[in-house]
Structure 1
Amino acid sequence: MESELKDLNSKSDKIHPPDSTHDGASAKDDRPLLKSDSSSAASSAAAGYNIQELEKKFAAYVRNDVFGTMGRGELPLKEKFLLGIALVTLLPLRIVFGMAILVVFYLICRICTLFFAPNREEEQEDYAHLGGKCLGCVYVQRESKSSDFKGVAGVVTDRVHKAHQNKSAPMMMLFPEGTTTNGDYLLPFKTGAFLAGAPMVPVILRYPYQRFSPAWDTITGVRHVVLLLCQFVNHMEVIHLPIYYPSQQEKDDPKQYANNVRRLMATEGNLIISDVGLAEK
């Protein structure tokens, strides 16, 4: 019996490792779950570095006005005061006048298109492009890669030829960049505007500003319209360059024609040439 008791006592005395492991686990659980200040500072610095790299890479879409990125930057007290006054005075008045102008324009379009058969889609009449019909707009679906692109290019080329041959025909205004920037850069031109090989008048639009940039770059549509209507005055400069007559080589190569016109506009307008496009925006 004594030998059995000794064996039991010796076994009970040896049961200590689990306690030590438990202590280790409790000690491990006592450690803080949050990262240290040094690691959080490093992550924030890395995030700031990434933002700087993105702004440098996609500089054509970076806002440099008082309202900051996406129009959501921190405003000084003076700007908040001016914006508050504009929200309760200028914005309501301009919305009322703007809606009145749109109603008058809609009525004019309805009268001018009485005999125009609207587009039908899924057996429903669509009058969304009524104003565009009066203005002679050509709509392009940038995301679509269907064969309709050839039809759009054909319409544009036909319009350009008519404007070039007939002095009384309305001129065709084209925006070859396909999207908007902050006004300091010039994106690659689409070749659809140059397929006709006809002479053209390069036009540069500038929007000088002090507080809010009217350029629609990376700001949302609603915020852009609201802040634009809250400005006491908005300026626009139109620079007409001399008529550009393409060479025979440019007529045969619309891409070269587009690149040459682009370089000319960048030089005359002190613009920076950028290779980014709609996908990066």
Structure 2
Amino acid sequence: MESELKEFASKDQILEPIADPQDNGSGKDELPLLKSDSNSDSPTFSTEDILELEKKYAAYVRKDVYGTMGRGELPITEKFLLGFALITLVPFRLFFGIVILVLYYLICRFCTLFSVPNRDDDQEDYAHMVGWRRAVIVKCGRFLARVMLFNLGFYWISESYSNLPEVEKLESENECTVQFEESERPGAIISNHISYLDILYHTYAFFPSFVAKRSVAQLPLVGLISKCLGCVYVQRESKSSEHKGVSGVVTKRVLEAHQNRDAPMMMIFPEGTTTNGDFLLPFKTGAFLAKAPVLPVILRYPYQRFSPAWDSISGARHVILLLCQFVNYIEVIWLPIYYPSEQEKEDPKLYANNVRKLMASEILTVNVRCKPVFDLILACSSSKKGAYHRIASWVIWYSQILGWPRSESIMLH
């Protein structure tokens, strides 16, 4: 556990709240962003209290039943459910997950037979293919990605499209334009990053190209699939000159996707790492150097028992606990295509920051929209007599069935 805590030390970030436009200075309904703090000292974890650690690194703290790093003390009922799922549900899901993965690998292998991969800019992929082979890879990939999500318990996907009531204010402040148009195609999809499950959803929805570690290309089964997706590979331990080369490849791909409708769009997580979903880390500028419009997409994973967020929990533990949960939920908010202003085109940092603020304001709007309902339930539950208490108890029970976020439903007790 100490080694996992030390990983937090490399994420030198502090909280910076964003005020709710509808809030009159109360500061209660604020969505925190995170910004870099180059002056912060590395803490010593041998004597630091765990609560102080969680407060400082709030973007990586788990709030579900399983507690810090998924190692919290579980109630007896939870232990029973976990043991039952390990015996019945996990083997079933593991088997079908492997079948789906192998099946898609065989499809990709068949479609790439006698085809030479594109080896441009020290990259290797099959995204340049056209015709029936490319159509089979894309259609089967999208379908099987949805089947895999279903196998993992995501039986329903809630998708909504936001008209962003705050856009007019942002336009006046930043001189940006946000709109739905068919005339121009976005070059990149910008999304918050919560879990590896994000990749499955975006593959199902868009079948885009991702930025991945170079070692992914060497993995069995997954390596060929990533090449068919057209992933851009990066060596994280490489020199800065190599990073500049990869940045150039990403910029080139974004421009190509913007200008050519047959080219796959780039899927970029500008935060660069996963969080618990309650915060947005500072955006890196790689996706915005091409000066092309982008499509912001927000993902949320409501939960009651286990949070699908991959924040401070180990990969193996996360996969096992995810497989043990019978139902998982995902909510997707599609924002309008963001067209940068001339000022933003010349300043990628400004462009990235404005898109980040736009996404944060939408997340805040969703949270504020839900809060009055919980305030009403809280008021009802404070009365221990009559119909109000019965209504509150019923809604609490129903919220648990629906899988409303535990961070919100915990307010009801």
TM-score of the superposed pair, with normalisation by structure 2: 0.51
1:194 equivalent in structure 2 = 288
Percent identity (aligned): 72
Q: Does 1:171 align with 2:258?
A: no
Query: Which secondary structure state, in structure 1, belongs to the residue aligned with residue 333 of structure 2?
Result: strand
Residue 151 (structure 1) shift: 2.0
Q: Does 1:135 align with 2:229?
A: yes
Partner residue of 1:228 out of 322, 335, 356: 322
Structure 1 residue runs without a partner (length 5+)? 1-45, 272-281
Partner residue of 1:217 out of 295, 311, 332: 311
Query: Which secondary structure state, in structure 1, belongs to the residue aligned with residue 332 of structure 2?
Result: strand
Query: Which secondary structure state, in structure 2, belongs to the residue aligned with residue 87 of structure 1?
Result: helix
Question: Any conservation in 2 of the 1:86–1:230 contact (CA below 8 Å)?
Answer: yes
2:71 equivalent in structure 1 = 72
Residue 109 (structure 1) shift: 2.0
Segment drifting more, 128-137 vs 221-230: 128-137
Residue 169 (structure 1) shift: 2.6
Deviations 1:206-234 (A, max 9, x none): 11100000000010000000101111011
**Cα-Cα RMSD:** 2.3
Query: Which secondary structure state, in structure 2, belongs to the residue aligned with residue 244 of structure 1?
Result: strand
Residue pairs, 1:132-281, within 5 angstroms = 132-270=226-364
Paired amino acid for 2:99: A
1:30 equivalent in structure 2 = none
Q: Does 1:83 align with 2:82?
A: yes
CA distance in 1, matches of 2:331, 2:235: 29
Q: Does 1:51 align with 2:84?
A: no
1:109 equivalent in structure 2 = 108
Query: Which secondary structure state, in structure 1, belongs to the residue aligned with residue 232 of structure 2?
Result: coil
Residue 160 (structure 1) shift: 1.1
CA distance in 2, matches of 1:223, 1:127: 21
Give 1 or 2 for the bigger CA radius of gyration.
Answer: 1
Residue 49 (structure 1) shift: 6.1
Residue pairs, 1:7-46, within 5 angstroms = none
Question: Any conservation in 2 of the 1:191–1:258 contact (CA below 8 Å)?
Answer: yes
Question: Any conservation in 2 of the 1:162–1:169 contact (CA below 8 Å)?
Answer: yes
Question: Any conservation in 2 of the 1:200–1:244 contact (CA below 8 Å)?
Answer: yes
Structure 2 residue runs without a partner (length 5+)? 1-44, 125-216, 366-413
Question: Any conservation in 2 of the 1:198–1:245 contact (CA below 8 Å)?
Answer: yes
CA distance in 2, matches of 1:196, 1:189: 15
Question: Any conservation in 2 of the 1:112–1:134 contact (CA below 8 Å)?
Answer: no
1:60 equivalent in structure 2 = 59
Deviations 1:73-96 (A, max 9, x none): 100011011111110111000000
CA distance in 2, matches of 1:163, 1:246: 16
Residue 146 (structure 1) shift: 3.5
TM-score of the superposed pair, with normalisation by structure 1: 0.74
Paired amino acid for 2:345: K
Residue 161 (structure 1) shift: 1.0
Residue 63 (structure 1) shift: 0.3
Paired amino acid for 1:142: R
Q: 1:126 to 1:174 in 2, by over 3 A?
A: closer
Segment drifting more, 181-190 vs 103-112: 103-112
Residue 51 (structure 1) shift: 1.5
